[in-house]
Chain A
């Protein structure tokens, strides 16, 4: 049976984040944590493969114990098992270190035929982690997929690209990333939700993977990128007041829109 692993991330619900008008910073307190929306599409992709071809679906997340909530979410939708990758030593990891740790966990639990993830997380928005996992695992990577079909040991995937749609055939194993357009994620069933709330979610720590992890590549020290500062950029564009009668105002608005290349 095909083995699928999906990497998911718990993120703050950015639609709920407001900007402090005085300090000009993000107000993070009281913002609910959710399953990264693109990762939900990745879970749905895995479950559709499971429905069509039969597969076991494993879900992974790296984060603090609270991140088990998003793993339960994936279980409630129909994933078979979930692991939380958690260790103080993993804290402060950038996308390079995170993708290295996730790829190590995939090695530890694998082998898998298909690795899935969302195209990016809505908090960091880097879009680097999933493709980097493929690099660490020396695996073919297909980003922004619209659909995938399995034929024997091959996958035929449609990719969304700027010019149109690309159809790609590749040999398994592959890593694919999903977008909002890939599918419409299913709702959990009441039964799935009840079972997920009771499910045991094992933790994978550095100790579990010590034979395959190079400790110089993890955590803050193993991260080549350093965040020097974060700030909200000042809005520099100013508004233009359009005046006059309705027809004149409409005409000026049209000119403005053309000028700024909106139309």
Chain B
């Protein structure tokens, strides 16, 4: 591994590895088949404090840096990225409430998570994915309350969360400036969890529709000023992009680990296949991409720790790393040959898990548009 780790980071990584290897890994294959992760498995993560790694102490967190938090999540993603993203989504939601909301709102949100709940981020709608300004969900002021109506889709932690950050149009005609964000309790009348997404991969992560039907929330549940929701969403995406890249590094490191181990064991023509140059080239290219990706993620994390917004860097990191991860996991299957295509072996799952990383948190095509837009401004 290319990074220089502090003693503290090494200890934390070893602790999480120990737990994940013993308590989570044995159950991953079954949970992947079922498309559902048992709550008992998540409880191990909660007990350890994985929901609050980078959250400040005043909200019950451990106040780790983004850099160290990312190292821990990379380790967890080696065992299962769907498990890891359930915690990532939760702290990203809370982090954004802390950034955009009042201290009271942040405390309220943090208390619910500390009770053992996950949190969700309800932005995407069936007709508004890459173009979030096109959401139709509405928030209409009625006395001291807003009345929310929307159908949200692909919501990570949809059915696992007691609390959400939801995005609605307070001014339907105002484009992205008409979007406002709200804190919504799941048990508010009119909130219901819709269809569970039967996904190709990342099947330990829960993804559902969310339906808001005449949901009344007090005015003080709005995050930040009216019309600031789009900016909040972009900030959240900057953070989550960096963290999904971390998870992708974990997935591809696992793919490399499995592929090298297998290439040393598998014999053809009376010799382990790692002795063939064609296999060596595959493995070496995989290792190059894993190392480069990890360094890129680490740099972005350190920039975020220093307070940088990482709009361009986050997009570059997410795109490069997840494109690499797609290739690395696919080549891990290649090294395994026919066995790689079988569910008996661990690598086909990595390939299925990683595909969505090129799609969510902004497709890699959208990322390239963002990067080019920033370049266009930088080279005035």
Q: A residues bordering B, Cβ < 8 Å?
A: 76, 186-191, 193-194, 197
Which of B44-52, B124-132, B223-231, B242-250 touches A?
B44-52
Q: In the bound complex, what is the Cα–Cα distance between A191 and B7 (angstroms)? A: 15
B residues in contact with A193, CB < 8 Å: 11-12, 15
Chain B residues 24-59 with CB under 8 Å of chain A are 44, 47-50, 53
Do A190 and B8 touch across chains, with their CB atoms under 8 A apart? no
- Choice from B15, B18, B44 contacting A190 with Cβ under 8 Å: B15
Going nearest first, the 4 A-B pairs with the smallest beta carbon separation are A190-B49, A187-B19, A189-B49, A191-B62
B residues in contact with A197, CB < 8 Å: 7-8, 11
B residues in contact with A194, CB < 8 Å: 8, 12, 62, 64
Do B48 and A189 touch across chains, with their CB atoms under 8 A apart? yes
Q: In the bound complex, what is the Cα–Cα distance between A187 and B18 (angstroms)? A: 9
B residues in contact with A189, CB < 8 Å: 47-49
The distance from the CB of B8 to the nearest CB of chain A, in whole angstroms, is 6
Chain B residues 2-17 with CB under 8 Å of chain A are 7-8, 11-12, 15
The distance from the CB of A83 to the nearest CB of chain B, in whole angstroms, is 21
A residues in contact with B47, CB < 8 Å: 186-187, 189
CB-nearest residue of chain B to A69: B11
Secondary structure at the B interface, as helix, strand, loop or mixed, is: helix
CB-nearest residue of chain A to B18: A187
Do A190 and B12 touch across chains, with their CB atoms under 8 A apart? yes
A residues in contact with B12, CB < 8 Å: 190, 193-194
Q: In the bound complex, what is the Cα–Cα distance between A179 and B47 (angstroms)? A: 24
Q: In the bound complex, what is the Cα–Cα distance between A76 and B16 (angstroms)? A: 13
Q: In the bound complex, what is the Cα–Cα distance between A251 and B261 (angstroms)? A: 37
Q: In the bound complex, what is the Cα–Cα distance between A188 and B53 (angstroms)? A: 14
CB-nearest residue of chain A to B23: A187
Among A189, A190, A194: residue with most chain B CB under 10 A: A190
Do A190 and B11 touch across chains, with their CB atoms under 8 A apart? no
Q: In the bound complex, what is the Cα–Cα distance between A222 and B271 (angstroms)? A: 59
A residues in contact with B15, CB < 8 Å: 76, 187-188, 190, 193
Do B53 and A190 touch across chains, with their CB atoms under 8 A apart? yes
The distance from the CB of B293 to the nearest CB of chain A, in whole angstroms, is 25
Q: In the bound complex, what is the Cα–Cα distance between A191 and B47 (angstroms)? A: 10
A residues in contact with B8, CB < 8 Å: 194, 197
Having A187-B18, A189-B47, A191-B62, one finds 11 other A-B pairs with CB under 8 Å, namely: A187-B44, A187-B47, A187-B48, A190-B48, A190-B53, A190-B62, A190-B72, A191-B49, A193-B11, A193-B12, A197-B7
Q: In the bound complex, what is the Cα–Cα distance between A190 and B19 (angstroms)? A: 11
The distance from the CB of B222 to the nearest CB of chain A, in whole angstroms, is 32
The distance from the CB of B271 to the nearest CB of chain A, in whole angstroms, is 25
B residues in contact with A188, CB < 8 Å: 15, 48
Write 13 A-B pairs (CB below 8 A) sorted by A numbering.
Answer: A76-B15, A187-B15, A187-B19, A189-B47, A189-B48, A190-B48, A190-B49, A190-B50, A190-B53, A190-B62, A191-B49, A194-B12, A194-B64
